[in-house]
Amino acid sequence: MTEAWLKHMPVVAILRGVTPDEVVAVARTLHDAGIRAIEVPLNSPEPLRSIERLVQTFGDECLVGAGTVLSPDKVDAVRAVGGQLIVSPNVDVSVIARAVSLDMVSMPGFSTGTEAFAAIGAGARYLKLFPASSHAPGHVKALKAVLPADVAVYAVGGVTAANLQPWVDAGVTGFGSGGDLYKPGVDLGQMADRAAGLVAAVRAALKLA
């Protein structure tokens, strides 16, 4: 399924700080709430082990990968444990090209039109406006007027169930959620409620079936 999961529910859960011992339980809670894409940032404890456990547990039920991917060798390391998603905070064309060459989903972070088109030129078809909280929906609306129609823009950083509608109205088609969903030590019941609320808000805003 790979990127088909992003069309099913265009939300990437960012599990920064998650450990291998808890990652399956956390991901199961998110999966039960309807989220189908999970990112383990590489500055988390033993991230590759966590990604491998997620791949082994969920198989074809979820798009799993890494965040904070800063070099092509890290792309290779994620692919070696079965990851299919490469998320970065920046536009590094070597990282994007490597991910694309391995048939992985590349989602680089961008801010400007120059960065967006550099990422697209390297093969990215998902762009992460990061941090979204530093911008306004109007920034996306202006960029969408010139970006290719088949390129999806995700808003990441500061976007919640309560404020996502203006971003959708501006042309955003997906979201990333980190600390608002998961932080080390989070209560799984509370996380389940927040995840369900986010999924419901995204479905309503994007008019998903």
Hey, which residues are catalytic here? 39, 128
77/158 Cα distance (integer angstroms): 29
State the DSSP H helix or E strand holding residue 143, giving kind and residue range, or none if neither.
helix 137-144
CA atoms within 13 A on the CB side of 17: 8
| Burial of residue 138 (number of CB atoms within 10 Å: 0-12, 13-18, 19+) | exposed
- Give the residue carrying structure tokens 């600390």: 179
- Phi, psi for 12 (deg, rounded to 5): -105, 120
Distance CA 185, CA 53 (A): 19
Contact 128, 110 (CB under 8 A): yes
**Rg over CA atoms, the chain:** 16
